[in-house]
Each structure stands twice: as C-alpha cells, then as structure tokens.
Amino acid sequence: MGIDSGLRGADLVWVITGTALVFFMQAGFAVVEAGLTRAKNTGNIIMKNLMDFCLGTIVFWVLGYSLMHGDDIAGLIGLPTTGFITGNMDMTSLIFQTVFCATAATIVSGAMAERTKFSSYCIYSVIISLFVYPISGHWIWGGGWLSQLGFHDFAGSTAVHMVGGISALIGARILGPRIGKYDKDGNPKAIPGHNLTFAALGVFILWFCWFGFNGASTYGVTGQELKLSLILVTTNMAPAVAATTCLFITWIKYKKPDVSMTFNGALAGLVAITAGTDTVSPLAAFIIGIISGFVVVYGCEFLEKKAKIDDPVGAIAVHGFNGALGTILVGVFSFNEGIAGAIKGNVSFAEAFRFLGVQVLGVGAVALWVGVTMTVFFHIIKKTVGLRVSPEEEIGGLDFSEHNLATAYSGFILNNEVDIDKLDLIEYHPSSTVPAQMKHEIRLDSEDELQPKMTLVSIILKKPKFEALKYALNRIGVTGMTVTEVMGCGTQNGHTETYRGAPLDITLVPKLKVDVVISAVPVEKVIEAAKTVLNTGMFGDGKIFISDVEDVVRIRTGERGFDALQDRYCE
C-alpha cells in the first residue's frame, strides 16, 4: 500500500532517522516553553504541545498533505485527493512532512502561553495544520509559484518557522498581554519562568534535533556526502555564534549576561540558518549568527516595550523575525545564486539581485498569507468560543482551571516568591476589565478607636482572590503584609479532582497565606474586609486565624511594639 518514494537503503534510513529527530523537537519545545513560563501553567503547556501534534497529524493526513503536495493547480494549491482513504500516498514523504507541519504549529503555544483557552488552542492547531501551513508550503516545496520563481528555503526558515512566528505574532496581539505584564503607565514588568534547567534542556534537545531537521532535508545521502557535511557545519555554526552574540549584547546592555536571552539566541541562529544551510559557507553562517543574535535581542525588546506584545518565551522574535531574516539573507550569502555567488563569478550580479528579490517577495507573500488568514480565524475564535481565560482563571493558573490539575509537581513544595505588584489587575491592558470581586466597597468607620494591642491575622485564601483582598486591606489602612504560597491538605467538598479518571480523595490544593500584624486598625474591621471580598458561598473560600503578638522588633532601628509597625515599607 502506498506510493514508492524511490528511496532505498541508506537514503531511506537517513530520511526516517531525520523524521524521528524532527518529531523529538516536540519534546524540546515542550520543556523550553514550560521552563520559561510559571509553574502554575506547566501542565497546560505540555498538553498544548501534545495536542497540536496529535490534531495536526490527523488533519494533515486527511487534507493538508494533498493540499501541499498534490498536483499543482495554478501554482497556488495542491489538488485534494482521497489518498487518506485509499492509502495511495507516499508514506515516507507523508510522515516527513507531518513532523515539519507539527513544528510550525507548536511555535504558537509559547507566545500565547498562560492566558489562552485550551479549547481555542486546539481549534487553532487544526486550522494551521489543515490548510494555512499546507498552502504556503505548496508555494515553496510543492511546485507552487514561489518554487517556479526559484525561491530557496532549504529546510523551512519561512515555510515552517516564519509561518509559526507570524501566527504567534497575530495570536499574541489579539489575545493581549498577561495580567501583570504592564503597569498602569504601560511599562513592561518581568515575569520570569520557573525553571531555567528545563529551558536549557529544551534548547539542547532542539539543537540536537536540528541536525535532523536540516540534514534530512537533503532527502537522501547517496552522492551528497560533502553537501551533508556542509549542512551540519553551518547548522552548528550559526546558533553557536548567535548565542555568543546574545551573551555579549546582554552583558553590555544589562551589565550581566542574560540566561534566557542567550538560550533564545541559540534558537534564533538555528532558525536563521535553516533556509540557506546547504548553500552558504561556514563564514557566511558565522555572519548570519551574529545578525540573528542582534535581531532576537532587539526584536524581543521592540515587541515588549514598543509594540506592547507579550511573548512569554520570545517565539515571535526567534521564529518570525529570524525566519524572515534567514530566508532573505540566502539572497546575499548563497555561493550558488546570491550576491556572494556573483562575487565568485558563479552568476551575474543581475541574476543575483533578481534572486534576492525573489527571496524578499517570497517572505512578504507568505507573511501576508499567514497574517491575513490567522487574523481572520483568531477573531472568529475570539467572537465564538472565546480566546482568553477569565482573570481569575489566569491568576490561579491554567493547570487548575483548564485541566483540573492542582499542580504539575505533585509531591513537591514550590517555594515561589509572590510579588504582589505583579498581580495587579488594574493595569495597562487593552481589553482588561475590573473583576466583580474588586468592586466591593469596604465601609470605613471613623469612630473606631485605636487599639494598642498587637494582633496577628493570618488569612488563607484562593490565589485569584488575592488582589481583591489586598485592595480591601489597603482601603482600611493595612499596608504591610507577608504573602506566602502554601499547599492545603484535605478533601475539597463539592469539587472532585481526578487523575486518569480516578477521583483524588486527598489533595494538596495551592493557596495563599496572607499575614498582617495590626495595632491601630481594629481586628473586626480586618475580618469584615476579608469576609466581604473572599466569601463566595462556595467550599474552599478560606479561613482566618487570629492570635496575639507579644512584641515586634524592627531590626534596622531597634524600635519595639506599636512603633515598630508604623512604617509601610518592608524592613
């Protein structure tokens, strides 16, 4: 069953091995994205990376592959066939192109991480794999109009990475930034990922797999030994130089070398070299690496500070910007057809500049196709099923709200610092609204008498309610607090969690513990303020613990008791 690919022996083994390596890139993307986002969204990130591959595999087999590699129709699209029913398909080509399609699809998950509905992401995965990627792929690799013009994209800087990067750009722009990413004046605030070890592992996995991504695009090895060696050398050179470039740029710019940006530098170099890895020299790969290093640093900065587009992992600059850049630079550095080739006498300068023009045209055309189609579909998704989770769900974490998963790290206590400024819901946000729980007014009783007695009030609450509590306490004069992430052990009545379909009787539920020591503010006023904003009438609203405080000592000044509490700043 199936069409003979014509590959035999070592050629077939090489292509199948490369296919397996490209598939394993899904693991690399999963751990990179998980590491560069917060722990409360880890399960959601992993699920999205799994399902974009699974859904993409199905729809690419049904329709996408024939749209991409079917008989050409006017240079625009492949002829759809019933090969998925009859089995009359080139199986080697099918699986090889399937894993490339999945790579384009998974790029978007990082840029839209931590606030996208899981159902909406699944719909997006079907759309890009069904016809967005296949149609532009036909133009480039399926005998379409760009292929006929001589457009050169050897392994997919544009066909794969820029398609994913532009989709990520459109999706992140329509979705809006994460809560807490920008302050009221629109200034960006850092939201660090929770596990740089994961991120590093993911980068090394991707780098390793890229040797298959680029190397297997020769579609064989017989008679191509020298070409294959060049491909592997340039594939390695560009990311090494790009990462080093990022290291020095950030060292100079920020006074210390930035770890996550250096990781992204390596990926940017890999993306940029992919289009011309077979037709540029190692020296050209070195130069491309330097350029891509600058592009990823300043591209991320532009998106974050100027465009106000929140990309948690830097996928837009890595894949979108460097995918376009790498493809265009083939027209400059190709020793066969580019300006470098004209200098060597391999082509005329007129032919070289025509080739450069074709590269620019191809990048622009694919960017326009993806940009328009994904804008339309993301808006349709937004208006129908909705694109973004609620503010409460976002703050509480998508693991719990989208997958009923208390934590992706069961059995581990996560000691994450809670920065109360980073959870502010009243902020610079194109589509933000004030959640209902923040609209409660706390009545102030000016006749309450000051009580010199010192009391510790400990409040256990759900994470999404923290902003409302902070707001309420500030309104009654409580401006100092200690916030701790805690795990509560017990059965949560009225809400059953499951694992592999089986109910969990006792779980560790993530909560926040807010401690305030008060003297001038009456205890009852604190209790009423907390009850007003925390009470939903549902199980798990929390508890308030009250205990006497014998003394308080300010370390800096030695002040004790009431005087030690009269400073709103942390000591």
Confidence of residue 88 (pLDDT cuts 50, 70, 90): confident
* H-state helical runs in 384-465: 391-396, 398-403
pLDDT at 540 over 80: no
pLDDT at 293 over 60: yes
Q: 165-210: per-residue pLDDT in tens?
A: 999 999 999 999 999 899 888 899 888 899 999 999 999 999 999 9
Q: 1-55: per-residue pLDDT in tens?
A: 456 566 768 889 999 999 999 999 999 999 999 999 999 999 999 999 999 999 9
Q: How far is CA 432 from CA 111, 489, 544, in A?
A: 19, 34, 30
- Per-residue confidence (pLDDT) for residue 436, from 0 to 100: 42
416 compared with 521, residue with greater pLDDT: 521
What is the DSSP track for 335-392? TTTSHHHHHHTSS-HHHHHHHHHHHHHHHHHHHHHHHHHHHHHHHHHHHTT-SB--HH
Q: Which of 383, 409, 426 is the last residue of a domain?
A: 383
**What is the average pLDDT across 48-72?**
96
Q: What is the DSSP letter of 493?
A: T
Q: 396-455: per-residue pLDDT in tens?
A: 899 988 998 877 876 565 544 444 444 444 333 444 333 444 444 444 444 444 446 889
- Per-residue confidence (pLDDT) for residue 435, from 0 to 100: 42
- Per-residue confidence (pLDDT) for residue 562, from 0 to 100: 77
Q: What is the DSSP letter of 80?
A: P
368 with 436, same domain? no
27 with 80, same domain? yes
- Give the structural domain span for 462: 417-565
| Cβ neighbours, 10 Å, residue 429 | 21
Is 285 domain-assigned?
yes
458 with 318, same domain? no
271 with 372, same domain? yes
Confidence of residue 559 (pLDDT cuts 50, 70, 90): confident
The torsion angles phi and psi of 449, rounded to 5 degrees, stand at: -90, 145
Q: Which of 363, 383, 403 is the last residue of a domain?
A: 383
247-251, 339-343, 375-379, 484-488: lowest mean pLDDT where?
484-488
Q: Which sign does the torsion angle of CA 556, 559, 562, 566 carry? A: negative
Plot region of 74 (φ>0 → left; ψ -120 to 50 → alpha; else → beta):
left
* H-state helical runs in 88-155: 91-111, 118-127, 133-141, 145-149
Encode 445-492 in three state secondary structure. Answer: CCCCCCCCCCEEEEEEECHHHHHHHHHHHHHCCCCCCEEEEEEEEECC
| Cβ neighbours, 10 Å, residue 368 | 12
pLDDT at 66 over 90: yes
CA distance 229 to 224: 9
**Residues paired with residue 544 on neighbouring β-strands, in sequence order:** 459
- The CATH number covering residue 271 comes to 1.10.3430.10
Confidence of residue 496 (pLDDT cuts 50, 70, 90): low
Q: How far is CA 350 from CA 34, 126, 356, 361, in A?
A: 48, 43, 10, 16
508 with 375, same domain? no
Is 184 domain-assigned?
no
- Per-residue confidence (pLDDT) for residue 23, from 0 to 100: 97
pLDDT at 570 over 60: no
Is 399 domain-assigned?
no
287-301, 410-424, 518-532: lowest mean pLDDT where?
410-424
356 with 427, same domain? no
**Helix-then-strand count for the chain, H and E:** 21, 8
- Per-residue confidence (pLDDT) for residue 505, from 0 to 100: 53
- Using the structure block, give the residue that is written with the tokens 């933000």: 432
Task: For 10-37, give one letter per residue: b (16+ CB within 10 A) or e.
Answer: ebeebbeebbebbbebbbbbbbbbbbbb
Q: Does residue 10 contact residue 222 with C-beta atoms inside 8 Å?
A: yes
Tell me which amino acid residue 511 is.
Answer: K
Please tell me the number of Cα atoms within 13 Å of 384 on its side-chain side: 10
68 with 217, same domain? yes
- Per-residue confidence (pLDDT) for residue 411, from 0 to 100: 59
Give the long-range contacts of residues 497-504, CB within 8 A, separation 24 or more: 497/404, 497/405, 497/406, 498/404
429 with 357, same domain? no
Tell me the three state secondary structure of residue 518: strand
Q: 38-49: per-residue pLDDT in tens?
A: 999 999 999 999
Tell me the three state secondary structure of residue 446: coil
Is 391 domain-assigned?
no
**What is the average pLDDT across 542-560?**
87
77-86, 252-261, 273-282: lowest mean pLDDT where?
77-86
- The CATH number covering residue 530 comes to 3.30.70.120
Q: Does residue 387 contact residue 146 with C-beta atoms inside 8 Å?
A: no
- Per-residue confidence (pLDDT) for residue 537, from 0 to 100: 80
Tell me which amino acid residue 86 is.
Answer: T
CA distance 162 to 184: 33
CA distance 431 to 549: 44
Q: What angle (nearest 5°) sits at the alpha carbon of residue 362, between those of residues 360 and 364? A: 70
CA nearest neighbour of 151 among 346, 328, 322: 328
**What is the average pLDDT across 549-560?**
84
Length of the chain as a residue count? 571
258 with 160, same domain? yes
Tell me the three state secondary structure of residue 152: coil
Q: How many domains does the chain have?
A: 2
CA distance 273 to 161: 11
Q: Does residue 476 contact residue 470 with C-beta atoms inside 8 Å?
A: no
**What is the average pLDDT across 345-356?**
96
Q: 213-233: per-residue pLDDT in tens?
A: 999 999 888 888 788 999 999
Is 319 domain-assigned?
yes
240 with 297, same domain? yes
**Residues paired with residue 499 on neighbouring β-strands, in sequence order:** 502
464 with 321, same domain? no
365 with 452, same domain? no
Is 390 domain-assigned?
no
Is 388 domain-assigned?
no
387 compared with 222, residue with greater pLDDT: 387
- Per-residue confidence (pLDDT) for residue 545, from 0 to 100: 94
Is 524 domain-assigned?
yes
50-59, 467-476, 504-513: lowest mean pLDDT where?
504-513
CA distance 402 to 500: 15
Q: What is the DSSP letter of 182?
A: B
Q: What angle (nearest 5°) sits at the alpha carbon of residue 188, between those of residues 186 and 193? A: 150
Query: pTM for the full model?
Result: 0.78
Q: Does residue 179 contact residue 114 with C-beta atoms inside 8 Å?
A: no
